[in-house]
Amino acid sequence: MNRFIFVYLSIMLLGNSIYSQDKQYKIRTIAFYNLENLFDTIDNPAKNDEASPIMELKTNKAKVYWDKIDNLGEVISKIGTKKTNNSPVIMGVVEVENDTVLKDLINGEYLKDRKYNIIHYDSPDKRGIDVALLYQGEYFKPVYHKNYELKIYTTDGKRIYTRDQLLVSGYLDGEMIHIIVNHWPSKRGGTSSIAFRKKAAELNLKIMKDVRKKEPNAKIITMGDFNDDPIEPSFKKILKTKKKKKNVKENDLFNPFESMYNKGLNTAGYRDNINLFDQLIVSSQFVTTTKEYDSYKLFHANIYNPKFLIARNGRFKGYPFRSFASGKYTGGYSDHFPTYIYLIKEIK
C-alpha cells in the first residue's frame, strides 16, 4: 500500500483486513515468481534435466538444493506481509522441475506454517521445466484447473517443446476468479522468437475465451514470466493491454506494470538489457466493477526487490541475486524479482 492511499483512507491494518474510520476492507496478496531452475538432484532420463545448473555441479548437490529451497521459501514468506500479515494467498511459479521440488518448498522451514497446496502438470518442455500454482487453502478454493499446450514450430516445421499455460479457477474468499500462469518462450533466437511469444499471447486469448463462454463477466488474472516487456507486440497488438485504468473497457486487460517499465523499473536482465518480464495483468472486472461489497478490485501492484535480493558485486551487480553463475552456486535466490498485486474489497 503506498503512502498516498494509506493517508487518504486513514487505514489501520488489523490481521488480514484494513480499516478506515467507518469502513472495513479485506486485502490479499497475489504474486508471481520465476524460481530459476528449481531442479532436484535426480536425473530424469526422459528429460534433459542434466543440463540444469544444479546437475552440472561437481559436488554438494544436495546441500545446494536444500539451501536454494530455504532461500526461495524465505522470499515467498515475506512478499506482501507488511500490509497483510501473510504471504501471498495465491502464487504462480515457473522454472520448477516437478511436484517433488514444490512439495519440498512448501514444507520447508519458511512456508510450512502457511499450509500451501499445489496445482501442477508435467509439461512437454524438453528440459522438463514446468509452471505451477501455490495457494493457501484457507483463502482460495480451486474448483477447476487445466493445462493448455502451446504448440509452436520452427520455420522448417520442427516442433519446439515448451511450457504449458495453466488455468486455475476457484473461489477467493467466496468470489470466483481465474488465474493463468505463463512462462512464454525465451528471447533466444532474437527476432525469430517474437512469433513464438505472439503464439503464446494468442493461446492466452483462447483460454480467456473459454472461460468467458461459461462466465461472460469473468475476473481473470494472467501472470508469468512472459519474456517480453509490457510494450512489446504480444501485449499491445494481441492481448491489447491498457496502460491506464481510464482507458479500460469491458473485458479489456489492464497492465499496471507498463507504467513501471516506462519508469525504468525491472525484474530481470537479459544480455545486458534491463527487462520487466514478470507481470500480473488483470481483466477489466478488477478495475471497473461498480459492486460495492464482496468484490475484489486491484489496489496496488509492485516488484518485490529488497536489498538482499540484489547482487552487490561481480558481473551481475545491480541485477537480481541469482542462484547460479559461471557453473557455480552463488548462494543467491533467483535471476528474477518476484512481482505481486494487492486485491482489496470493502466488507460489511
As a whole number, mean pLDDT of residues 269-283 equals: 88
pLDDT digits (tens, 9 = 90+) for 169-183: 999 999 999 999 999
Averaged pLDDT of the chain:
90
pLDDT for 141: 98
| pLDDT at residue 21, as a whole number | 57
Decide if 163 contacts 127 (C-beta within 8 A): no
Question: Going by C-beta distance under 8 Å and a sequence separation of 6 or more, which residues neighbour residue 125?
Answer: 161, 162, 163
Q: Across residues 5-11, what is the average pLDDT?
A: 35
Give the whole-number percent of the chain exceeding pLDDT 70.
91
In the prediction, which pLDDT does 1 show? Answer: 31
pLDDT, position 6: 31
Query: In 94-193, where does DSSP find H-type helix?
Result: 99-106
Strand, coil or helix: what is 200? helix
pLDDT > 50? residue 56: yes
Q: pLDDT tens for residues 242-274?
A: 999 999 999 999 999 999 999 999 999 866 778
The predicted model gives 208-220 an average pLDDT of 97
Domains in the chain, please, with CATH? 3-347 (3.60.10.10)
Flag whether pLDDT at 229 surpasses 90: yes
Q: Within its chain, how far is the Cα of 333 from the centroid?
A: 15
Residue showing cell 526461495:
72
Residue 273 has a pLDDT of 79
Instruction: Supply the pLDDT for residue 292.
Output: 53
Q: At what angle do helices 99-106 and 61-78 cross, to 10 degrees?
A: 60
Cβ atoms within 10 Å of 306's Cβ, excluding its own? 10
List, for residues 102-150, the tens digit of each pLDDT value.
999 999 999 999 999 999 999 999 888 999 999 999 999 999 999 999 9
Q: How confident is the model at residue 317 (pLDDT cuts 50, 70, 90)?
A: confident
pLDDT of residue 17: 56
Buried b (16+ CB within 10 A) or exposed e, 103-129: ebbbebebbeebebeebbbebbbebbb
Residues 145-169, mean pLDDT to the nearest whole number: 95
Lowest mean pLDDT among 70-79, 268-277, 332-341: 268-277
Mind listing the pLDDT tens digit for each residue in 295-305?
999 999 999 99
Q: Tell me the helix, strand and coil percentages in the chain, rounded to 5.
A: 25, 35, 40
Please tell me the predicted confidence (pLDDT) of residue 69. Answer: 98
Instruction: Tell me how many degrees the CA angle 283-239-286 measures, rounded to the nearest 5.
Output: 10
Given a cut of 90, whether residue 200 has pLDDT beyond it is yes
Q: How far lies 309's CA from each of 51, 112, 148, 267, 334, in Å?
A: 25, 22, 32, 11, 8
pLDDT at 20: 56
* pLDDT tens per residue across span 11-31: 445 456 555 556 788 999 999
Lowest mean pLDDT among 82-91, 101-110, 184-193, 293-302: 184-193
Q: How confident is the model at residue 9 (pLDDT cuts 50, 70, 90)?
A: very low
